[in-house]
Structure formats: C-alpha cells, structure tokens
Chains A and B, each alone.
Chain A
C-alpha cells in the first residue's frame, strides 16, 4: 500500500463518525419529505446543545480512563438551583438583581459551582480513596438526583427571569445563543485536548496511568481537575436546560446520561480510556439528534427512539472493533 492511500484510509478511519453523519443526513434528505431544510438542520443543532455540552464532560473523564455517571443528575441539580433562585412561579423565589443582566453571570456561576463541587467530591474520592469511579459516580448519580427531589419537594419552578431566557430566544445566524454556547464549548475543549499539555496528559493517563506517573506527570491532580471540569460542564448543561425549559422540574433531564453515553461511544471514544476526540463526540451528538429529528418527521412514535439509540450504540462498538482490525492491518 502506498503512503498516500494509507494516509487517506487513516483520515477516513479517524473521522468515520463525520462521514456517517453526512451519509445519514443525505439519506434522510432524499427519503424523508421536508427533511432537507435549513430550519431542520438548525433544529438538529439546537436540539443537541444540552446533550452536547454534557457529553464533553463525560468524554473528558472517559478519555482519562475513568467514568462519570453523575453528569445527568448534576445538570438537574444545577438547573434546579438556577430555577429556584431565578424563577418567579412555582417554587421559584424570583430573586431580582439590578441591573437585570447581572442575573446571567450570577446564575451561570451558581450552576458551574454546584457542578464543580460535586465533580470535586467525585474526583477526590476516586483519587484519594482509590475506589472505582463507576461506583462513586453511580452513588452520586443517585444521591444528587435525590437532592433535586428534596430541595424541590417534587414540584417545579417556572418562568425563568427574561434576562436569562434571552439566551434561548436571541438568535444569531438562525441558531439560538444556547446552541452557540455548546459549539463554543466544543471548540474550546477540543483545542484543550489536542493542543495543550493538560489535554495530552489526560489522553496518556487514559492510556497507561502507571507510565504517566513514572514519567513525573501529576496524575492525581490531573484526574481531579478532569472530574471538576466534568461536573462544571454538567452544571453548564443544567443551566442551558433551565433556559430551554424556562425553569426546572424534579425529573428534568432524566435519561440524558444514556444519550450522552451513546454520543460519546458513537463519537469514537473508547470506554477503555485513552482513545477518542471531542470533534468526534460532537458528530456523535449531531448524529443522534439527526436521527431523532427523522423519527419525529416520519411520525413514528417517540418510543422508537430508544430502540434505535440502543442499536446505534451497539453498532458504534462493533464499528470500533472493526476499525481496530483495519488499523492493525495498516500498521
């Protein structure tokens, strides 16, 4: 095989999920009436912003060789915190700040701090107590959701302050600002992972933790930061979720974790750690969203979504194994 074909093949393998996305969009556009519209595509991006942001945090931790099952509950808790403070109906306290725009940074900061704190708690236990991240974050997944129920009493907060809602309404180039926030997150964290020593170290820790420790990389510090980031990003996802629903309910975002998982795996991140890139994860998120939209347009009952997502995850895992075989043949 000459180096050129090899390079082309490697490029295709590295970006397979993007090709799948384009393929799916083309097929849907041809076979589903009304699918091929700018509005539909904008909708696909818009609908994937919360899931996309949450997937970033999950992907960071998985790439570093660990696991964070708590992201969904953390997002719900952050959303509820913002909802209770800044909603004017239901259980909302309707806190007003002057000038009004001040509510934006304050609510965002609260969401990030709530998420980051739980992330720090997870990370500390994983690193210091050396327990499996799976178990620790599973516990957090349960107790944080419990906390949401406790502080809300099972009720909901509605009518989020207009100054914060503005991000979900104001559009730029056909997309609401919330979608742009998600895209910006992907750009920033993709750069961090690909171009900075911190990102490089996370990937290497996911590949061989012992080797990185021996090489003098501060593994524990990096891992705690990764968990804090995952928590804070989940907090941001919660903030976006509160804007999207203009409030918060006790069961807000239930099931998002599994979609995030699906997106991360489809995006080419290996659950063994050390493999995967964030642009791939974004493609995975868009792919899921594109399929959801297709299901809606075809008028299929929404219950099919879950079956299709499950099969997609399965396909992604099989594809990953297949890619490995091809790569070995290339080497």
Chain B
C-alpha cells in the first residue's frame, strides 16, 4: 500500500446508549479504492458522515495526510479535499443542471465589486464534463426535477470526477443506475483512483466491490470485521465476514 491518505484510529460514535460505531480503525492509501461492506445498520453510512463532516465522532481520531483531522462541517471536509456522494441524492431539484453541478462553488466574476454568477463559463464546464463521461442530458438548463434517476446520479458522479479533491466517499452511488451506466461509473472510479485520489465506496453488491476495489473492509456491528486485499479473498469469504460466521478480524480466508 502506498502512503496512507486517511487513517481512522478507533473512531466511535454513540447515540445515547446505542453504540453505532464501537471503534473503527483502518486506512486508505492514495490512489486506492476501498470497498466498505457490511449489513444494513452496520454503521457504514455513519462512518462516511463522520469523515465527510456531517457528524462528529464520540471518540477516536483521524489523520488526513498525516495530520490530525476532524471536519466540523461538510464545508470543512470539502476544503480539505474530501468529496462525498450520498446514498440519498444531494441535488436541489428546483434548479437546473448547471446550478446543481456547481452547488456551493459557483464561478463568479466581479461586476462593480459584486460577485455575479458566470453562467456561460459554468455551462461550458458542465457540458464538457458530462460529454467526456458520456452522459446525455437534453438541456443543461432544465430543472433537475424533470430528469430521470439515472441522469440525476450521473450529475453527482460527474461532479466528484470533475472537482476531484484528494479523497472521494461514495455511499451506494449506483443504486439508481442501469447496467451500462454502472459500468461507466466503475470505470470513472478507477480513472479517478489512477490520478492518486483515494476512493471509499459503500456498496451492497459484491460483484461491484470485487470489480473496482483494491481492498475490502467489512464492518459488522460497529467494528471492523475484516480488512483484506481483494486478490487475497473471495466473495464467499467476504459474505462470511458480513454475516459473522468468521471471527472478527480473522482476515484473509478462502
């Protein structure tokens, strides 16, 4: 593994008496794709929200590029270079494709000292980004509410590819995508990783995890139940880790 980009050290999260995460430790290298697997309620989404600044951990620490890191808000995480695609889509359906693509980082130019949206520049960027990803959306000026689920997800995926950053978190990004779009999405992930960006992808589909990931991390009942290189394990072994038939931390099997 190359030098670690993000290190999680015993990260825990309690909701009152309920321990959603009991202490998670693993790391993600630069240019590495880590698939995060686990049953429903294992704590995957909670973990992603903690890294992305949406939730604060109860205890534990994180190192990002070797430095102590704790994002208090998504804005801070974003500033540090962490992009997130959430399970429930984070689009504003009441505005158009361009506005969604640039949400929070609009291109502006100054008119009399006042920042004014540079719509033309933004539209060109979106056009290029979508075209290079092979996504077809009839008009970039239609409101997102009129687009299909697949088109919406494509906007989010292209957004992270375009803005890049250093680490990308994907929480079930392909839930609404068709076969062809999913294949393209997986290609996108590899392409992003090849630029040295770390990727964490949460998925339920074993096949996708094995297609795209370098390493597979399994979370069960709030702890890491397995952390193995993809080429040293098999889908059956991973399923055993998810359901708990193998002891926690047993590592490579099969």
Contact = CB atoms under 8 A, between A and B. Distances in A.
Interface of A: 195-197, 200-201, 203-204, 206-208, 210-218, 274-275, 327-328, 330-331
B99 interface: yes
Contacts of B115: 196-197
A203 B94 contact: yes
B195 interface: no
A207 B92 contact: yes
Contacts of A214: 52, 54, 74, 84, 86, 90
B128 interface: no
Contact of A331 (B78, B103, B146): B146
B94 A207 contact: yes
Given A196-B114, A200-B117, A216 B90 contact: no
Interface string B92-106: 111100010001111
Contacts of A206: 94
Nearest to B76: A216
Nearest to A198: B115
A275 to B, nearest CB: 6
B224 to A, nearest CB: 25
B79 A216 contact: yes
A330 B146 CA distance: 9
Interface in B86-138: 86, 89-95, 99, 103-106, 108, 114-117
B103 A212 contact: yes
A207 B89 CA distance: 13
A211 B142 contact: no
30 contacts: A196-B114, A197-B108, A197-B115, A200-B95, A200-B99, A200-B117, A203-B92, A203-B95, A204-B92, A204-B99, A207-B93, A207-B95, A208-B90, A208-B93, A210-B90, A211-B90, A211-B91, A211-B92, A212-B103, A213-B74, A215-B74, A215-B90, A216-B74, A216-B75, A216-B78, A216-B104, A217-B75, A274-B95, A275-B94, A327-B146
Contact of A215 (B79, B103, B142): B103
Nearest to B159: A215
B73 interface: yes
A328 B93 contact: no
A216 B73 contact: yes
Given A197-B117, A206-B94, A214-B54, 17 more contacts: A197-B115, A201-B104, A204-B95, A207-B94, A208-B90, A208-B92, A210-B90, A212-B92, A212-B104, A214-B52, A214-B86, A214-B90, A215-B74, A215-B78, A215-B103, A216-B74, A328-B146
A331 B97 CA distance: 14
Contacts of A328: 146
A210 B90 CA distance: 7
A208 B100 CA distance: 11
Interface string B16-41: 00000000000000000000000000
Contacts of A200: 95, 99, 106, 117
Contacts of A216: 73-75, 77-79, 104-105
A204 B94 CA distance: 7
A203 B92 CA distance: 9
Contacts of B146: 327-328, 330-331
Contacts of B105: 216
A203 B79 CA distance: 23
B106 A197 contact: yes
B114 A208 contact: no
Best-buried of A197, A212, A327, A330 by chain B (most CB within 10 Å): A197
Given A215-B104, A216-B104, A195 B116 contact: yes
B147 to A, nearest CB: 8
Contacts of A330: 146
**Closest 10 pairs (CB-CB, A-B):** A331-B146, A207-B94, A216-B75, A207-B92, A274-B94, A211-B90, A215-B104, A215-B103, A204-B92, A216-B78
A208 B91 contact: yes
A208 B95 CA distance: 10
Interface string B138-172: 00001001100000000000000000000000000
Nearest to A199: B117
B103 A211 contact: yes
